[in-house]
Structure 1
Amino acid sequence: MPEEYRHLPLVGKCCSIDEVLIKDAHGNTICASSNDSSTYFSPLFSDFNRTGALVPGDEYKTFTALVGNPCNRRYMLQPEESDDEYYLLVNGSIFAPRLDHVPIMLMPGKNYCMETVPELGLRAFVCFQDVPPPTTDARVIIYACGLLISVPFLILTIVAYTITPRLRDVHGKALCLYCGCLALAFTTLAITQLASGQLSPQACVSIAFVIQFSFVACFFWLNVMCIETWALVHHHVNQRSYRRIQPKTLFFYYSIWAWGFPAGLILISMLMDLSPTIPMTYVKPAFGSESCWFKSDAEALPYFYVPVGILLLGNMILFIITAIKISRYQQVLALRRLARNHHSDREDQRLFRRLKRVFIVCLILFFLMGLNWMMELISWGVGGDPFDWTAFDLVNALQGVLVFGLFVLRRPIRDFVWHRIQKIRGINTTELNVGSMDLALLPVINGDIPERSYNS
Structure 2
Amino acid sequence: METFILMCVLFLLLFLNIVSHATEFNNCSPGLCSDPPVYDVPERCSCRPDCYLYNECCSDKINKTTSDHKQPYPSIYYSCRKVSGSYYYQFDHCPPNHDVTEYVNNCENPDSDDQLQNIPAFGKTSKRLFRNLYCSLCHGEEFILWNLLYECNFILSPSIENISNYVKDGICEPTLKLPSEDLEKYLYSCIPYISNCPQDNTNMEQRITCESEAMALIYLDEEKYFIHTKYKDFNFYKNRGCATCNGVFEVPCELFYPIMLGNHVIPPLTILFNYHTKSIKITDKHIGTEDTLLQLPSCPKHAVYDMNTKECRQVIYHHQLNCTTTRLNESEYYITSDGLLYLNNAQRFLNQSEFTRDSQGIISICVNNGTNNISNINGISKYSVAESYITLVGLVISIPALAITIIVYLCIPDLRTLPGKLLISLLSALFVAELLFLISTKVTTSTVMCISLAIVIHYSFLATFFWMNVMSFDAWYTFSGLTQLRSKGKGTKRLALYSLYGWICPLVIVTISLIFEYTPGNHGLSPEYGNGICWIKNGKSLLWLFAIPVMFILCLNCIAFILTTRGLYMASKFSSKYLSKHSRNEFFICLKLYLVMGLTWTFAFMYTFTRIEEFSLLFCILNSFVGVFICVSFLSTKIVRRSILRNFRKIAKLPTKEFTDVSSAPKTISMDISTEKSVN
Structure 1 length normalisation: TM-score?
A: 0.61
Matches within 5 A, 1:108-119: none
- C-alpha displacement at 1:208, in angstroms? 1.5
Matches within 5 A, 1:349-388: 356=586, 359-366=589-596, 369-371=598-600, 373-382=601-610
Change (3 A) 1:227 1:67: closer
Q: Contact 2:410 / 2:416 at 8 angstroms: preserved in 1?
A: yes
Q: List runs of 5+ in structure 2 lacking aligned partners.
A: 1-49, 90-123, 129-135, 145-178, 192-229, 231-261, 265-287, 290-384, 656-668, 670-680
> 1:401 aligned to 2:401?
no
What secondary structure, in the 3-state scheme, does the structure 2 residue paired with 1:240 have? Answer: coil
What is aligned with 2:567? 325
Aligned counterparts of 1:357 and 1:427: Cα–Cα separation in 2 = 39
> 1:276 aligned to 2:504?
no
- C-alpha displacement at 1:87, in angstroms? 6.0
Decide which of 445, 458, 464 is 1:218's aligned counterpart. Answer: 464
Q: Contact 1:147 / 1:397 at 8 angstroms: preserved in 2?
A: yes
Decide which of 157, 171, 174 is 2:419's aligned counterpart. Answer: 171
- C-alpha displacement at 1:308, in angstroms? 1.4
Moved more, 172-181 or 283-292: 283-292
Q: Contact 1:92 / 1:107 at 8 angstroms: preserved in 2?
A: no
Aligned counterparts of 1:94 and 1:393: Cα–Cα separation in 2 = 44
Q: Contact 2:80 / 2:88 at 8 angstroms: preserved in 1?
A: no
The one-letter amino acid of 1:142's match is I
> Percentage identity across aligned positions?
22
Aligned counterparts of 1:142 and 1:418: Cα–Cα separation in 2 = 34
> 1:206 aligned to 2:452?
yes
What is aligned with 1:241? 485
Decide which of 59, 80, 83 is 1:24's aligned counterpart. Answer: 59
Change (3 A) 1:91 1:168: same
- C-alpha displacement at 1:323, in angstroms? 2.6
Aligned counterparts of 1:240 and 1:177: Cα–Cα separation in 2 = 24
What is aligned with 1:48? none
What is aligned with 1:261? 505
The one-letter amino acid of 1:364's match is Y
Aligned counterparts of 2:496 and 2:424: Cα–Cα separation in 1 = 15
Q: Contact 2:422 / 2:467 at 8 angstroms: preserved in 1?
A: yes
Aligned counterparts of 1:228 and 1:421: Cα–Cα separation in 2 = 34
Q: Contact 2:88 / 2:189 at 8 angstroms: preserved in 1?
A: no
Q: List runs of 5+ in structure 1 lacking aligned partners.
A: 1-12, 44-62, 76-83, 111-129, 338-345, 429-454
Aligned counterparts of 1:392 and 1:65: Cα–Cα separation in 2 = 54
- C-alpha displacement at 1:161, in angstroms? 0.9
The one-letter amino acid of 1:379's match is Y
Aligned counterparts of 1:39 and 1:272: Cα–Cα separation in 2 = 38
Aligned counterparts of 1:354 and 1:227: Cα–Cα separation in 2 = 23
Matches within 5 A, 1:39-438: 41=71, 66=77, 86=126, 91-92=138-139, 100=181, 102=183, 135-136=288-289, 137=385, 139-193=387-441, 195=442, 198-199=444-445, 201-235=447-481, 240-243=484-487, 245-273=489-517, 275-277=518-520, 279-295=521-537, 297-331=539-573, 333=574, 356=586, 359-366=589-596, 369-371=598-600, 373-382=601-610, 389-420=616-647, 427=654
Aligned counterparts of 1:424 and 1:288: Cα–Cα separation in 2 = 50
- C-alpha displacement at 1:227, in angstroms? 2.3
- C-alpha displacement at 1:213, in angstroms? 1.3
What secondary structure, in the 3-state scheme, does the structure 2 residue paired with 1:412 have? Answer: helix
Aligned counterparts of 1:69 and 1:324: Cα–Cα separation in 2 = 69
Change (3 A) 1:425 1:266: farther
C-alpha RMSD over aligned residues: 4.5
Q: Which has the higher helix share?
A: 1
The one-letter amino acid of 1:276's match is T
Q: Contact 2:604 / 2:619 at 8 angstroms: preserved in 1?
A: no
- C-alpha displacement at 1:261, in angstroms? 0.5
- C-alpha displacement at 1:138, in angstroms? 5.1
1:83-108, CA deviations, whole angstroms, 9 ceiling, x for partnerless residues?
Answer: x9846778447769897354899899
Moved more, 303-312 or 151-160: 303-312
What is the count of residue pairs matched by the alignment? 344
Aligned counterparts of 1:33 and 1:41: Cα–Cα separation in 2 = 15
- C-alpha displacement at 1:226, in angstroms? 2.1
Change (3 A) 1:243 1:427: same
